[in-house]
């Protein structure tokens, strides 16, 4: 029998733990099955997996004597199946569709199976204590599992069951409910294929192009894992468990405010410069999951897939990126008319297990540091482009997913990327939209998805502008212009605009409304903020540049200049400031240059101007959501309040 070690490794990475039903066939030909809390990989060479079972179980003898067994990996939606096989006695197999193999039984479709023959040498000897547990091992899977959404058993009363989380990215068990930085870094060592400068990157956590940014993202998780930040950064999801507030669906105004405080605290760690921090796509996903009724119109199975995936992502605190824009090629043609049939990601095949996609999507911002990628279409599609009309979620380590990046030098550089899918198989459990061009738009705009993702962006931008205002003040203090009236006028303008953005953020929260049982911000005020800030951000940067003058140009080339005994004294003589030492002055002005003048800064100007679309797109959203009836109603009422008066002199004449 042929064996693909890579496939075996990928499968184990998708299911490091999770509830499974172990099944086999007794000597009498009758099926036997038990629910196991988890299974373990023993080795890759030879390929071994095992599970533990109590010898006191009625069906243990069947497993001990059988030549083989199957591990049926369960999805969250199959809780009833796991409960059935966890009970003692009764006819567990009643109404359960299953298939008989030469050495095993497998249960209904929808599970992922490892079908394995036993290894007698690893079965172990019978211990004297009948309550002791014994391992059952097997080798050579004939079929590896698709990336389903694994179950996890809840915490039991009085004691703590396994808190292992199943990360499709290959992360092993987490020590606590709240994800920390170390666990996030480990999750990125999953065999993902990343190319930079024509070379395959072995480890994104250590590669010079990515390590600073990756560790900055890990710092976010370390912050939320601190005990003193538990109430600020997490919320109770029941069963004694807590989750990142980024995944919280606010049920009222107060919960929205608490969630915003958490997102603000995260944004302050990166000064608003991480546009695709973990809370961004999480916000998009919770907004879509709020609108399950929209997905049900598309199909009950697609709605169930969205609900299951949201719970999975929340419980495992998945760092998600998304690719929702098609590659730019010939802008004069529709997507389906582009040269090269593999340019735009499309469905190229499908079967009972799922769809196969091939082609590229963009912009995979933060894909280097993300666990999973949400693939969708934000741009309009037309009839005839159904093969492009899909949305799904994939682990970044999925076979045949590659990223091509253009790194910049900064600890908050997010590395925009084109992601190419080379015949990637996506199981139905991770497909949310299938060949429906209208639904591609609806999943963003008929749900709260688009509103929630852009609300998060305004929270981040408010923090970013506050940082820039503070930096502008320190800049004028550093160069000694703070007391000049024209300088104070410009600082006052910056402060007013920053406060205006924060006020809009508070207003869109206060002006929110209920949607499907959840509280969401005002749609029109979210789009209003986007229209205003698209023009505001470049004005902000230009104003700070004018305040700086030549100060940002006259700087040492690098910190190595301080190590040169000939150059260092010159720096000390020329970098004079009334507010700080020469070295502190250089350090600060390097920060200011990075924020407003560097390549990194230029990328951020472009990002803030276009991340939500061109100006006509955001203005179009504003036009679509504005209460025109209320505005024109006042105009009409005013017109109706007066009539043209006739001149009595004309009557006399």
Predicted confidence (pLDDT) per residue in 50-101, tens digit: 777 766 677 777 877 777 778 777 766 676 777 777 766 667 777 777 766 6
Residues 6+ apart with CB under 8 A from 279: 244, 246, 263, 266, 456
**pLDDT value of residue 150:** 45
Identify each DSSP E strand in 435-521 by its residue range.
513-515, 518-520
pLDDT attached to residue 121: 34
pLDDT at 165 > cutoff 70: no
Which is more confidently placed, 423 or 247? 247
Highest mean pLDDT among 141-145, 469-473, 600-604: 469-473
Assess whether pLDDT exceeds 90 at residue 127: no
How big is the chain, counted in residues?
653
Mean pLDDT lowest for which of 14-28, 219-233, 487-501? 14-28
**Mean pLDDT, rounded, for 170-194:** 73
| Residue 632 pLDDT greater than 90, yes or no | yes
CA distances from 13 to 40, 53, 191, 216, 451 (A): 11, 23, 10, 25, 34
Residues 112, 113, 114, 120, CA torsion sign: positive
- The predicted model scores a pTM of 0.71
CA distance 565 to 623: 63
User: What is the structure's pLDDT at 136?
Assistant: 55
Taking the C-alpha atoms of residue 306 and residue 331, their distance in angstroms, rounded to an integer, is 32
Distance in angstroms (rounded) separating the CA atoms of residues 487 and 446: 46
Q: How many CB atoms lie within 10 A of CB 619?
A: 15
Minimum mean pLDDT among 56-60, 299-303, 347-351: which range? 56-60
State the pLDDT confidence band at 538, using cuts at 50, 70 and 90. very high
Among the listed ranges 42-46, 282-286, 378-382, which one has the minimum average pLDDT value? 42-46
pLDDT of residue 140: 45
What average pLDDT does range 354-370 have in this prediction? 87
Contact between 273 and 412 (Cβ < 8 Å): yes
Tokens linked to 319: 């760092």
Euclidean distance between the first and the last CA atom of the chain, given in angstroms as a whole number: 113
Cα–Cα distances (Å) from 544 to 469, 481, 533, 547, 593, in that order, read 9, 13, 16, 5, 10
Q: Which residue has the higher pLDDT, 526 or 126?
A: 526
pLDDT at 115 over 90: no
The answer to whether the Cα torsion of 462, 464, 465, 469 is positive or negative is: positive
User: Can the peptide bond before residue 46 be classed as cis, meaning omega within 30 degrees of 0?
Assistant: yes
Which is more confident, 426 or 598? 426
Is residue 96 within 8 Å of residue 84, measured between CB atoms?
A: yes
- All residues at 6 or more sequence positions from 109 whose CB lies less than 8 Å from its CB, including other chains: 97, 352
Residue 378: predicted pLDDT: 86
Q: Which two tokens stand for residue 146?
A: 């698709």
- Rounded to whole angstroms, how far apart are CA atoms 77 and 63? 26
Closest CA to 371 of 281, 249, 245: 281
Q: Once rounded to an integer, what is the mean pLDDT over residues 617-640?
A: 92
Lowest mean pLDDT among 248-257, 403-412, 495-504: 403-412
Name every residue whose Cβ is closer than 8 Å to that of residue 313 and which is 6 or more positions away in sequence.
247, 282, 285, 320, 372, 393
Residue 259: pLDDT band (50, 70, 90) is: very high
Model pLDDT, residue 648: 72
* Whether the Cβ atoms of residue 313 and residue 305 lie closer than 8 Å to each other: no
How many other CB atoms are found less than 10 A from the CB of residue 280?
26
Q: What does the pLDDT read at residue 634?
A: 93
Q: Give the largest CA-CA distance in the chain.
A: 126
Q: How confident is the model at residue 583 (pLDDT cuts 50, 70, 90)?
A: confident
DSSP 578: S
Average pLDDT, the chain: 80
Q: Cβ(67)–Cβ(103) under 8 Å? A: yes
Q: Which residue has the higher pLDDT, 106 or 631?
A: 631
Sheet strands (E) in 44-168: 48-54, 68-73, 99-100, 105-106, 112-117, 133-139
Is 649 or 22 the better-scoring residue by pLDDT? 22
Contact between 111 and 52 (Cβ < 8 Å): no
Q: Which residues contact 543 (CB under 8 A, 6 or more apart)?
A: 472, 490, 493, 494
User: Which residue ranges form the domains of the chain, and what is each CATH number?
Assistant: 5-139 (2.30.110.10), 181-445 (2.40.110.10), 449-635 (1.20.140.10)
Phi, psi of 519 (to 5 degrees): -100, 125
Confidence of residue 133 (pLDDT cuts 50, 70, 90): very low
* Between residues 501 and 580, the one the model is more confident about: 501
Q: Is the pLDDT of residue 406 over 90?
A: no
The SS3 of residue 123 is coil
Buried b (16+ CB within 10 A) or exposed e, 565-579: eeeeeebeeebebee
Predicted local distance difference test score (pLDDT) of residue 75: 66
The pLDDT value recorded for residue 373 is: 93
């Amino acid at each position: 029998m042929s064996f693909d070690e890579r496939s075996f490794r990928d499968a184990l990475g998708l299911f490091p733990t999770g509830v499974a039903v172990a099944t086999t066939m007794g000597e009498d030909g009758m099926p036997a099955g038990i629910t196991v809390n988890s299974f373990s990989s023993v080795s890759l060479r030879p390929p071994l997996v095992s599970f533990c079972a109590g010898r006191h179980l009625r069906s243990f003898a069947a497993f001990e004597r059988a030549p083989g067994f199957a591990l049926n990996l369960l999805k969250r939606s199959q809780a009833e199946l796991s409960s059935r096989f966890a009970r003692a006695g009764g006819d567990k197999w009643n109404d359960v569709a299953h298939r008989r193999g030469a050495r095993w039984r497998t249960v209904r479709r929808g599970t992922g199976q490892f079908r394995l023959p036993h290894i007698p040498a690893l079965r172990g000897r019978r211990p004297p204590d009948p309550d002791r547990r014994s391992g059952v091992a097997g080798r050579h899977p004939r079929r590896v599992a698709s990336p389903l959404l694994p179950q996890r058993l809840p915490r039991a009363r009085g004691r703590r069951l396994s808190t292992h989380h199943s990360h499709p990215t290959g992360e092993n068990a987490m020590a606590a409910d709240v994800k920390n930085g170390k666990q996030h870094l480990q999750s990125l060592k999953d065999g993902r294929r990343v190319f930079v400068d024509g070379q395959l990157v072995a480890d994104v956590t250590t590669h010079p192009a990515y390590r600073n940014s990756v560790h900055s993202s890990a710092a976010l998780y370390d912050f939320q894992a601190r005990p003193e930040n538990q109430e600020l950064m997490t919320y109770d999801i029941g069963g004694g468990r807590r989750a990142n507030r980024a995944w919280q669906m606010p049920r009222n105004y107060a919960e929205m405010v608490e969630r915003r405080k958490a997102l603000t605290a995260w944004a302050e760690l990166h000064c608003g410069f991480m546009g695709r921090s973990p809370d961004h796509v999480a916000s998009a996903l919770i907004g879509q999951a709020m609108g399950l009724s929209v997905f049900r119109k598309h199909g009950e199975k697609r709605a169930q897939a969205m609900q299951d995936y949201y719970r999975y992502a929340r419980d495992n605190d998945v760092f998600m990126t998304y690719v929702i824009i098609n590659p730019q090629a010939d802008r004069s043609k529709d997507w389906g008319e582009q040269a090269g049939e593999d340019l735009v990601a499309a469905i190229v095949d499908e079967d009972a297990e799922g769809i196969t996609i091939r082609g590229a999507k963009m912009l995979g911002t933060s894909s280097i540091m993300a666990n999973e990628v949400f693939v969708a279409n934000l741009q309009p599609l037309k009839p005839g482009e159904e093969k492009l009309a899909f949305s799904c979620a994939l682990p970044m380590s999925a076979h045949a997913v590659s990223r091509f990046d253009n790194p910049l030098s900064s600890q908050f550089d997010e590395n925009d990327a084109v992601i190419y899918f080379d015949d990637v198989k996506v199981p139905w459990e991770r497909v949310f939209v299938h060949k429906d061009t209208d639904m591609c738009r609806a999943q963003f705009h008929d749900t709260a998805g688009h509103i929630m993702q852009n609300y998060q962006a305004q929270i981040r931008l408010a923090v970013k502008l506050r940082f820039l205002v503070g930096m502008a003040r320190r800049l004028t203090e550093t160069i000694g212009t703070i007391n000049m009236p024209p300088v104070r006028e410009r600082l006052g303008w910056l402060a007013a605009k920053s406060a205006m953005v924060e006020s809009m953020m508070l207003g869109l929260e206060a002006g929110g409304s209920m949607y499907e049982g959840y509280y969401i911000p005002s749609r029109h005020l979210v789009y209003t903020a986007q229209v205003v800030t698209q023009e505001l951000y470049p004005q902000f940067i230009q104003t700070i540049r004018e305040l700086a003058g030549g100060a940002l140009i006259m700087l040492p080339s690098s910190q190595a200049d301080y190590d040169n005994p000939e150059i260092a004294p010159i720096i000390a003589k020329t970098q004079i400031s009334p507010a700080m030492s020469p070295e502190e002055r250089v350090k600060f002005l390097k920060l200011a240059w990075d924020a407003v003048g560097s390549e990194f800064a230029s990328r951020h100007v472009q990002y803030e101007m276009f991340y939500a679309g061109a100006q006509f797109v955001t203005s179009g959203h504003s036009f679509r959501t504005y209460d025109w009836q209320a505005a024109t109603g006042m105009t009409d009422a005013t017109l109706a309040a007066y009539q043209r008066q006739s001149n009595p002199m004309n009557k006399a004449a």
